Amino acid sequence: MSYTGPGFDPPQPRRSLRGPLTVALAALVPGALLGWAVYAAVDGPGNGGSSAGASATASASAPSGVPSSTTPSPSGDRKPSASPTAEESPSPSASTSAPAASGPLKGKVVVIDPGHNPGNFRHTAEINRQVDIGTNRKECDTTGTSTDDGYAEARFTLDVAHRMRALLEEQGATVKLTQDADRPFGPCVDERARIGNAAKADAVVSLHADGSGAGNRGFHVILPGAVDAGAADTRAIVGPSRDLGERIAGNFVRVTGSAPSNYVGGGTGLVTRKDLGGLNLSTVPKVFVECGNMRDSKDAALLTSGAWRQKAARGISDGIVSFLRG
Ligand code: ZN
C-alpha cells in the first residue's frame, strides 16, 4: 500500500485460521474462498457443496503458504536489478500478441491500474500535492513500499499488470493501463480513477503490495464503501465492485494457494474502505488488490518470484473474467 504509506494498517494480533473461528468465518465468505477455508479447517479436500469441494481439491494440489514450485532460488530473482530480465517480464511474444479477434471478453474494457510509479521518488513535490478525493483531500500519489531487499512495489505492480494484460487480451478484452512507467510520475489518484471512468471500463483493478509489519501475511482485496460527498458517489458501484472483489479473492486463493490476509479482513481477504481516492472517484466497478506484504520475508519471497507473479496475475484475471461473464 499505498496512499498513506507503510504501516497505515496497524498490525493486529495474528489470528489462527484453523479451528472453530475458521468454521464460523466459512459461513461468511463466498465461493472459492469458502473452499480455501474448508481446506484450511480440515487439512484436505472438504465435504462442502460442489463449489467448495472443487475449490478444496484445487487447494489441495497447492497447499496454503508457499507452493514449493514457486519458491525462488537464493541467488535468483530477489536481488534488485535496474533492467528487466526474463524473470521480470513476460516474453515479448506474450506481451505483444495482438488481442484476439474474438473471445469471451470481446467488447469488454478492462483498466489495470498499476499502483504508484517507479519515478515517483524523484518527484516528491509533485506527488505530495493535495488532490480532492470527494470525502477529503489527499496526496496525489505516494512512492509505494518495497521489500527489505529493495524490490519496489511500483516495479511489482507494473510486472503483474503486463502479465494480466496478456492474459486478458487472450480472452478478447480491450485492456488499458493507467500508467506504464511512460510518464515521469503519477498519475495522481484522482486521475487514475478518471482514466477508468473515461474508458467506460467494465472492470478496473488497482494493483498493490502492502508495507505492513513482519509476520503479517497474505493478500486482501479492498472494496469501495458507500460514499456520497463532493465529487465522490460510489453508491452505484458498491454492489458490482463487491461481486468483482469476491470473484478475484476466490480465484486468487485457487490459483496462488496463498491465504487471505492474517492482519486485516478477519480471514475473508476482503476489506471495505472509504478513504481511497482511486475508489471514491470511480464510477465503474473497481477494487484494489494488495497481493501480499512486501515487508514480510515469506511474502516477499513470493512477490519477488516471477512464477508466483504469473499465478497472481492469472488469479486476478480469472476473477475479472468470471465477473465479466456473469
Ligand atoms: Zn500501494
- Residue listed under C-alpha cell 472492470: 203
Task: Supply 165's cell numbers.
Answer: 494484460
Residues 6+ apart with CB under 8 A from 90: 162, 163, 166, 310
What φ, ψ does residue 270 adopt, rounded to 5°? -125, 135
Residue 68 has pLDDT above 90, yes or no: no
Is residue 17 very low, low, confident or very high in pLDDT (cuts 50, 70, 90)?
very low
Between CA 163 and CA 89 the distance in angstroms is 7
Active site residue 290: yes
Specify the CATH class of 50-325 in words.
Answer: alpha beta
Ligand 1 centroid–CA 288 distance in Å is: 9
Ligand 1 centroid–CA 9 distance in Å is: 12
Residue 99 has pLDDT above 80, yes or no: no
Is the distance from CB of 198 to CB of 240 less than 8 angstroms? no
Q: What is the pLDDT of residues 203-240, one digit of tens each?
A: 999 999 999 999 999 999 999 999 999 999 999 999 99
Ligand 1 centroid–CA 206 distance in Å is: 9
Ligand 1 centroid–CA 140 distance in Å is: 13
* Closest C-alpha among 289, 279, 277 to residue 220: 289
Residue 63 has pLDDT above 80, yes or no: no
Task: Supply 67's cell numbers.
Answer: 507452493
Ligand 1 centroid–CA 289 distance in Å is: 9
**What single string gives the DSSP state of each residue in 188-217?**
-HHHHHHHHHHTT-SEEEEEEEE---TT--
Query: 229 pairs with which residues across the strands?
Result: 232
Q: For residue 162, give the amino acid letter.
A: H
The length of the chain in residues reads 326
* Closest C-alpha among 293, 251, 301, 285 to residue 12: 293
DSSP 8-state code for residue 248: H
Ligand 1 centroid–CA 1 distance in Å is: 3
Q: Of 139, 169, 246, 290, which one is the catalytic site residue?
A: 290
Ligand 1 centroid–CA 139 distance in Å is: 13
Q: What is the mean pLDDT of the chain?
A: 80
Residue 69 has pLDDT above 80, yes or no: no
Between CA 256 and CA 43 the distance in angstroms is 17
Ligand 1 centroid–CA 193 distance in Å is: 15
Between CA 269 and CA 135 the distance in angstroms is 25
Who wins on pLDDT, 10 or 229? Answer: 229
Residues 6+ apart with CB under 8 A from 13: none
Between CA 102 and CA 169 the distance in angstroms is 10
**What is the SS3 assignment for 313?**
helix
Residues 6+ apart with CB under 8 A from 307: 69, 70
Q: What is the pLDDT of residues 149-177, one digit of tens each?
A: 999 999 999 999 999 999 999 999 999 99
Is residue 41 very low, low, confident or very high in pLDDT (cuts 50, 70, 90)?
very low
Ligand 1 centroid–CA 84 distance in Å is: 21
